[in-house]
Amino acid sequence: MAFESLSERLQEIFKKLRGKGKLTEKDIKEAMREVKVALLEADVNFKVVKDFINSVTEKALGQEVMESLTPGQQVIKIVNDELIALMGSTQSRLNIGNKVPAVIMMVGLQGSGKTTACGKLANLLKKQGKNPLLVACDVVRPAAIKQLQVVGANVNVPVFTMGDKVNPVDIAKASIDYARSHNSDVIIIDTAGRLHIDEELMEELVNIKKAVQPDEILLVVDAMTGQDAVNVASSFNERLDITGVILTKLDGDTRGGAALSIKAVTQKPIKYVGAGEKLTDLEPFYPDRMASRILGMGDVLTLIEKA
Amino acid sequence: LKTRENLTSKIDSIVTIGRKIDEELLEELEEILILADIGISTTSKIIEGIRQKAKERKIYDASQIKKLLAEEVYEILQKDVEPFTLTSPMVILVVGVNGVGKTTTIGKLAYLYKKEGKKVILAAGDTFRAAAIDQLEIWAERVNCPIIKHQEGSDPASVIFDGIQASKARGIDILICDTAGRLHNKKNLMEELRKIRKVIDREYPEARVETFLVLDATTGQNALQQAKIFKEVSDITGIVLTKLDGTAKGGIVVAIKSELNVPIRYIGIGEGIEDLQAFDAKSFVSAIFQ
Ligand SMILES: Nc1nc2c(ncn2[C@@H]2O[C@H](COP(=O)(O)OP(=O)(O)OP(=O)(O)O)[C@@H](O)[C@H]2O)c(=O)[nH]1
Ligand SMILES: Nc1nc2c(ncn2[C@@H]2O[C@H](COP(=O)(O)OP(=O)(O)OP(=O)(O)O)[C@@H](O)[C@H]2O)c(=O)[nH]1
Ligand SMILES: [Mg+2]
Ligand SMILES: [Mg+2]
């Protein structure tokens, strides 16, 4: 499947329209079909795509075609601006007030990148002059504690563990006292991966939340996630009222449409992105970059910006 | 499984009494397939197939749509697939992107093959990820089978080399090799995989080599790209689809089978040692659509 980029396809549609003054309903409908395909190929959720297309179509109707742009570029610009707006502004900071210790909790599906993200955040906080403590609340996955210990050692941050025979809720509680007596001002809790439909394990997270009152509950999501991202994100959000999202594995070549789906269903900010396995590979989230990535056309946009 | 009920009930909900198979119905069906991650181009192909079959056989009633759909998907999944059999000696190289379930699948496979009376050994070829070796070791203990390991940071190809020598010396039937998770767009990591493969071919020519690509059922269209590139580099012979116990439908394997013709061999349905099933197109399809 030779993947023609969205911009090429749109240019094709609009070739015949060059020089026209206004975008008509028919032009836009035709263009929106292509936009829809592009978004679906990027794994944006079908329902999110539908809503998005409807609202963009309305916005684009009757707009003047700017002097410098062809109608194709004009539509791309509108779509792109709307995508950026939907994904929110840059919010790459943690809201950890003055409570000592501040509490950050990582949650998510199996293998999404929680443990790695714990190490990355610990590294970041340390650089900001904090004194973090990693807390090993995954008592399920084989060698999960060892993994967190290796990660902790790599960024030179201590790890609190009570082994894998203790209830995670009790471990989380105990870690607060430990942090206080060891001068740690922020704790980062690693939890076991779980399915959003696993009642028992979701309840465990609710209980950890009750016990330690986290400042941040971050949902860690694999950027390659498909249509199911909305179900995952909304379930975790409903049960835990998450405070933000970390999107991982963006160093791959996925278009990452899940980012838009998650934002649309939870309204929670994407705070950071993971872009590698190294513990320094944590980056701020840039809605504009994400938008062009989802549309599969970074280069075209820079051209339009210059126009 | 919850996922399957969802898909079936969704289809049921559009097949109301007296409804005909028309463009509107097909469009609603298309939406259901896309929501299952089957992807646009394979979905279009399936819809076209249904349209044709309905026309040829003069089927008008919407109640028949599930049958036609099942038939269409079954054809894709079953095309050219030879059954998977165990031979001896054999090497199973397990590859895939990060966190999809490679190491867990190896534990489950080892358990399954041991139950079938095979002598199994594991090679800890992920020398990169934190505690990856410890994780595989725990699985080896659970299964009660030997494991070959080096230190973290050592050359993965030489672990596999040692695994091969151990297999020969101990008369092992099946050597299962873990590898580090790697994104398919990382050239150097893919080269490393090529090197591992070369070592196997050179040192163990008498063994049959199976390369399983592990895919996470939650993954969207990127899985197609993963399959394409892993196929180029390491000649994958089968797919293991994990995490089907979630709500994701794993429809991407239909697209992969359709476009790349790689057979699906196993499905993972949980984190436990027995949560692995041989893939069977018929029951997969009937579980989804009947
Ligand atoms: N390429 C890449 N790999 C990542 C990134 N974040 C995590 N990983 C890898 O993804 C895999 C899973 O990461 P973990 O941190 O173990 O994931 P987890 O969510 O803790 O997994 P469980 O505890 O089993 O649920 C590992 O191989 C990590 O190295 C990222 O941003 N980019
Ligand atoms: N629910 C569910 N979880 C699974 C399944 N298979 C694996 N997992 C979980 O997914 C997570 C990642 O599994 P691993 O086996 O470590 O994945 P991997 O591909 O070896 O990961 P890396 O080596 O870091 O690339 C673990 O928490 C597993 O328990 C499955 O079929 N269902
Ligand atoms: Mg973990
Ligand atoms: Mg592994």
A221: phi then psi, degrees, rounded to nearest 5: -125, 135
Place of tokens 């973090």: A132
* Peptide bond between residue B83 and the one before it cis (omega within 30 degrees of 0): no
Name residue A214's amino acid. Answer: P
Write the pLDDT tens digit of every residue in A92-119: 789 988 899 999 999 999 999 999 999 9
Q: Encode B54-80: b = buried (16+ Cβ within 10 Å), e = exposed.
A: beeeebeebebbbebbbebbbebbeee
The dihedral formed by the CA atoms of A272, A278, A279 and A281, expressed in degrees to the nearest 10: -30
**Can you give the pLDDT at residue A119?**
98
pLDDT at A1 over 50: no
User: What does the pLDDT read at residue A21?
Assistant: 63
CB A184 within 8 A of CB A101: yes
| Minimum CA distance residue for ligand 2 atom 9 | A110
Residue B189 in contact with ligand 2 by CB distance below 6 A: no
Q: How far is A77 from chain B (nearest CA, A)?
A: 24
User: C-alpha angle with apex A173: A172 to A174, nearest 5 degrees?
Assistant: 95
A9-23, A95-109, A262-276, B133-147: least confident range: A9-23
**pLDDT band at A77; cut points 50, 70, 90:** confident
Three-class secondary structure of residue A136 per DSSP: strand
Distance, CA A115 to ligand 3 centroid (Å)? 4
Token pair recorded at residue A112: 């999404």
Q: String of b and e for A231-243 (b: at least 16 CB within 10 Å)?
A: bbbbbbbebbebb
Query: Mutate which of A110, A139, A278 to test ligand 2's pocket (most atoms within 8 Å of Cβ)?
Result: A110
Partner-chain contact A110 B36, CB within 8 Å: no
Indicate yes or no: CB of A110 within 8 angstroms of CB of B31. no
Asked if residue A276 has its Cβ within 6 Å of ligand 1, the reply is: yes
Following DSSP, what letter does each residue of B62-82 receive, concatenated?
A: GGGHHHHHHHHHHHHHHTTPP
Sheet holding B120-125, edge to edge: B147-148, B120-125, B174-179, B90-95, B208-216, B238-242, B264-268, B276-278
Condensed to tens digits (0 to 9), the pLDDT of residues B133-176 reads: 999 999 999 999 999 999 999 999 999 999 999 999 999 999 99
Burial of A39 (0-12, 13-18, 19+ CB in 10 A): buried
Alpha helix positions (H), B116-185: 132-143, 156-170
Classify residue B61 by its DSSP letter. Answer: B
Give the span between the Cα atoms of B278 and B39, in whole angstroms.
Answer: 24
Q: List the beta bridge partners of residue B216.
A: B242
List of chain B residues whose C-beta atoms are within 8 Å of the C-beta of residue A277: 98, 128-129
What is the reported pLDDT for A20?
Answer: 60
pLDDT-based confidence at A8, cuts 50/70/90? confident
Spatial CA neighbour of A97 closest among A209, A11, A213, A204: A213
Six-digit token string for B31: 């939406």
Q: pLDDT tens across B241-267, in order?
A: 999 999 888 899 999 999 999 999 999
d(CA B96, nearest CA chain A) in Å: 13
Calculate the dihedral angle through the C-alpha atoms of B11, B17, B23, B29, rounding to the nearest 10 degrees. 0
pLDDT of residue A89: 76
CB contact under 8 A, A197 and B216: no
Model confidence at A298, in pLDDT bands (50, 70, 90)? Answer: low
Ligand 1 pocket check for A110: Cβ under 6 Å: yes
B249 vs A contacts (CB less than 8 Å): 228
Strand A132-137 relative to strand A186-191, pairing: parallel
Could you tell me the pTM of the whole model?
0.95
d(CA A296, CA A301): 10
pLDDT at A7 over 90: no
Q: What is the pLDDT of residue B158?
A: 98
pLDDT of residue A17: 55
Would the CB of A193 count as within 6 Å of ligand 1? yes
User: Residue A118 carries which DSSP code?
Assistant: H
Whether A227 and B131 lie within 8 Å, measured CB to CB: no
DSSP letter (8 states) at residue A280: T
Residue A142 to residue B138, Cβ atoms within 8 A: yes
For A112-135, write each residue's pLDDT tens digit: 999 999 999 999 999 999 999 999
User: How far does residue B100's CA lie from ligand 3's centre (Å)?
Assistant: 12
What would the pLDDT profile of B163-209 be if each residue is shown by its tens digit?
A: 999 999 999 999 999 999 999 999 999 999 999 999 999 999 999 99
Contact B247, B6 (CB under 8 A): yes
User: Model confidence at B15, in pLDDT bands (50, 70, 90)?
Assistant: confident
> CB-based contacts of A272: which residues, under 8 Å, 6+ apart?
A92, A117, A120, A121, A246, A247, A282, A283, A284, A285
Name the band, by pLDDT with cuts 50, 70 and 90, for residue B4: very low
pLDDT digits 0-9 by tens, A286-297 = 999 899 899 887
**In whole angstroms, what is the distance from residue B151 CA to residue B124 CA?**
10
Q: Does an H or E element contain B122, and which?
A: strand B120-125
Nearest CA distance, B43 vs chain A (angstrom): 12
Instruction: Calculate mean pLDDT across residues A34-52.
Output: 93
Q: What residues pack around ion ligand 4 (CB closer than 5 A)?
A: B 102-103
pLDDT digits (tens, 9 = 90+) for A135-183: 999 999 999 999 999 999 999 999 999 999 999 999 999 999 999 999 9
pLDDT band at A3 (very low <50, low <70, confident <90, very high): very low
Query: Which chain B residues contact residue A196 at CB under 8 A?
Result: 246-247
Average pLDDT over residues B83-103: 97
By Cβ distance, the residue of B100, B220, B246 closest to A43 is B220
Distance between CA A307 and CA A161 in Å, rounded?
57
From residue A228, alpha-carbon distances to A217, A234, A255 in Å are 21, 10, 15
Distance from CA of A51 to the nearest CA of B (A): 14
């105990």: which residue's tokens? A174
Say if the Cβ atoms of A232 and B2 lie within 8 Å. Answer: no
Which of helix, strand or coil describes residue B213? strand
Strand order in the sheet with A216-222: A159-160, A132-137, A186-191, A102-107, A216-222, A244-248, A270-274, A282-284
Q: Which is nearest to A29 in space by CA: A65, A64, A71, A57?
A: A57
